[in-house]
Amino acid sequence: MTENPFFEHWTTPFGMPPFDRIRPEHFPPAFDRGMQEEITEIAAIAGSAAPPSFANTIAALERSGRLLERVSRVFFNLDASSTNDAFEAIARDYAPRLAQHRMRVVLDPDLFARIADLHARRASLGLDPDQLRLIERYYLRFVRNGALLGPEQKERMAAISERLAILHTLFGQNVLHDERDWQLVLDAADLDGLPEFARSAAAQAAAERGISGRYAVTLARSAVEPFLTFSSRRDLRRAIWEAWRARGASGSPSDNVLVIREIIALRAEQARLLGYESFVDYRLDDTMAKTGAAAEQLLLQVWRPAKAKARSELAAIEAAARAEGLNEPIEPWDWRYYAEKVRQAEYDLNEAEVKPYFVLDNMVQAAFDAAGRLFGLRFTERRDLRVYHADVRVWEVSDQSGDHVGLFLHDNFARPGKQSGAWSSRYRDQESMDEAVTPIVVNNNNFARADVSDAEPTLLSFDDAKTLFHEFGHGLHSLLSRVRYPSQSGTAVRRDFVEFPSQIFEHWVSVPNTLRSYARHYRTGEPLPEELLQRLLAARNFNQGFATVEYTASALIDLDLHRTTATETLDPARFEQDFLERMEVPKEIGLRHRLPHFQHLFAGGGYAAGYYSYLWAEVLDADGFAAFTEAGDAFDPELAARLKAIYSAGDTRDPMELYRAFRGREPAIAALLQQRGLAPVQPG
């Protein structure tokens, strides 16, 4: 084995990981040494003869585990975006070991005794507000992991954590395998209805898989949704829909049914050990919502108007289908296809007409320039920095004074070995505890790449552009962080607040002047025609009944599933069906995520009993952007400065306190209903 780069001081520019030197075989010894170093550091803190103080306990904890943190950041980012058999084997091997290690730290009785002592005396310690909050969060973290339990219960909590880590890893790998192994191979005669951008993407997908002269549609969402929207071949739409919904439930070795059952049972047991009636009660106790009832109340406030709007949308879709000669009932694989027909008729708007104006590189520049006008950031591409895949581009971020802020990596294309979806992460967090440390942030998307043989640029849908802005909003949350302690950095906030900075930033892609400047035809360079721009903006609420039902149903089933007590006999398919019938979910729509591939819930624990967070944050983002609308300026300097304070604060302050300081009051739901074009439905 070559010398292990994780055991060296990195002299790369800005502390960038030396991707060109890192190999899979470097990770096991680096994980092992990182865990051993942290255990030694924890033992020194816990066994100190000096009375507990913020400096020798909390600050010392913030300094501990640096090697393990660095190794973990690189490994889990690469495993998500550029995995292979070696990475997957390491992930399976080390997931339980890392979970066991984490529980060994949080269940250390001597360490917790020091934290508890400081927590009890926190008001008399003369601490700064960020230090006081850090003590409170440490104490809560240890308690929520079982620090107050007896020895046998602690042992069981540790075993549950270890087993869940194994199951989360297995679930995600199963979905990835199903997505990687399936493809719909087509000939030119099968492309009826597909616009040029979809044909180009299918040609590129086939070329990447060694299928010359033909076309391939994969199970990446960026491939599935355009096919369902434009393909006039109903049989092929059905085939890809059924493969899409069967991920993780195919009856193959990658089937997730038994994995789900065990995960739900273990989470319920974990909650009971900590004194909660259900995992929902446990999870939401440390959120803005506080209770499952509050989260469910919000979801139900939009559920009734969303279903009413979806019914009216279905009537229009059925009429369009009948006009084209389809006399059978509308099925889920029909909705997007006929909805596009209705949109063309109602708004004279065709996605194939709009997409040529949304060039990926232009939309990236639009996001950068919006961040510049709002927050004073500047982005300079660095082609000299080594990356982990040829798709990745890197920008150095600086402020108005020219000072270095951080690095931003963009990994935009779907490919084999990359998990589906879109996400933001970090290779390093901002902090200033001992010295100024700048962040290294990465955004991952799964856009369908254009056929490189045609030398054409990659084109985005309007929804793709919003996704790009959404993930960039998460990236800004990390880049703009200005905190002292690493565990308060950037996105380390409550789960139902973390989506606010990302979702509010989506609004700037729809600002008319943004579109006038950056939505330009990929061949002529001409700007989006004004009348087309106005039609595009007028159609923003189109099909919102469908979108809201699809999302809200998934959020509601998440809460229902994590309340269930019948964990030993749980049948995910039966549970889904009972839920769909009880909630009267339109059969033409269904769930955005079926349980066997619902990675938010089961490929990790972050959004378990928390998928409602997107809607909770949307109340904040709709109400928050309304402030800019009221000011008559999407770049109002005073509002932008107050918004920047939220991005900069990390977890140093309570999220509702931050929101009130920005908006001057607590949020109201009216703006969300207006944003989604939903009229409140009265009972009865």
Catalytic positions are 471
d(CA 574, CA 261): 12
Whether the Cβ atoms of residue 547 and residue 307 lie closer than 8 Å to each other? no
Side chain identity at residue 153, one-letter code: Q
Q: What is the gyration radius of the CA atoms in the chain, in angstroms?
A: 25
Closest CA to 507 of 346, 609, 633, 339: 633
d(CA 312, CA 307): 9
Whether the Cβ atoms of residue 625 and residue 504 lie closer than 8 Å to each other? yes
Q: What angle do CA 80, 82, 85 make, to 5 degrees?
A: 95
Structure tokens at 144: 């929520």
DSSP E strands in 515-614: the ranges are none
Closest CA to 419 of 79, 3, 114, 109: 79
Whether the Cβ atoms of residue 595 and residue 557 lie closer than 8 Å to each other? yes
Phi-psi region of 290 (alpha: psi -120 to 50; beta: other; left: phi over 0): left
Q: In what order do the strands lie in the sheet with 423-428?
A: 378-381, 393-398, 404-413, 440-447, 423-428
Beta bridge pairs of residue 440? 407, 428
Question: Euclidean distance between the first and final Cα of the chain, in Å?
Answer: 71
Structure tokens at 145: 């992991």
* C-alpha of 185 from chain center: 30
d(CA 18, CA 49): 40
Closest CA to 319 of 353, 293, 345: 345
**Which residue has 């510049």 as its token pair?**
372
